[in-house]
Amino acid sequence: MRRIVRYDLNTQTYIGLPNPNPSLFGVGGQNVFRVAATDSDIYLAGDFTTTTDGAVPLDRVARFDLATQTWHRLGSGIVSPSSRVRALVVRGDDLYVGGNFLEAGGVAETDRIARFDLTTSTWMALSDDIPDGNVLELFLTDEGLLYTGGSFSMTGPHDSARLGLYVVPDSPALPTGT
């Protein structure tokens, strides 16, 4: 099954991702740690580096387009050799990723946590408050609060004890002017 399947609730069977080209059936490398989906795409996070046949570089975070049945790298990916993307969440035009990586897409201050704009295909820092250890879990509330869990004790200068909090851009949680 090449590390990616879906479960059909009606037939109670596992089915590989549909693709007219079986060589593009999955990802190459080691592991897929997280999966997120929208109506049109599936997003994967892990320590994989390419499609199964090696034709498409994916670099630890990828998008599978359900309509065209094709894999896409997100920007220039997360390319450090020992990097792993352990967490991801997608909301609207933004994909948030966490893990043990030094930078996303070559952008400064994206150590261990980053945002990818799906419209502009650009990696961005969430804040200059960078966790001092790996981010293993992300949870985004409807109010735009991004909770992080992991093996860190500090987020920037703040004591975090393995739990961090970011307010995402354009969030309803941001105070409005008076």
Question: Does 44 reside within a domain?
Answer: yes
In a domain, 173, yes or no: no
Structurally, how many domains does the chain consist of?
A: 1
pLDDT for position 74 = 95
Bigger pLDDT: 7 vs 160: 160
Render pLDDT for 65-111 as a digit per residue (tens, 0 to 9).
888 888 899 999 998 888 999 999 999 999 999 999 999 999 989 99
Domain assignment present for residue 159? The answer is yes
175/98: higher pLDDT:
98
Give the Å distances, CA to CA, from 11 to 3, 4, 78: 20, 18, 37
pTM of the shown model: 0.84
59 part of a folded domain: yes
pLDDT at 4: 62
Q: Is the pLDDT of residue 119 over 80?
A: yes
Residue 17 lies in a domain: no
d(CA 61, CA 43): 7
- Within 8 A by CB and 6+ apart from 107, the residues are 114, 123, 124, 125
Task: List, for residues 138-157, the tens digit of each pLDDT value.
Answer: 999 998 899 999 999 988 88
Does 3 fall in a domain?
Answer: no
In a domain, 176, yes or no: no
Tens digit of pLDDT for each residue in 17-68?
A: 555 444 445 677 678 899 999 989 999 999 989 887 788 889 999 999 888 8
- Residue 164 clears pLDDT 80, i.e. is over it: yes
| 45 located within any domain | yes
* Distance in angstroms (rounded) separating the CA atoms of residues 115 and 117: 7
Give residue 55's domain range.
26-167
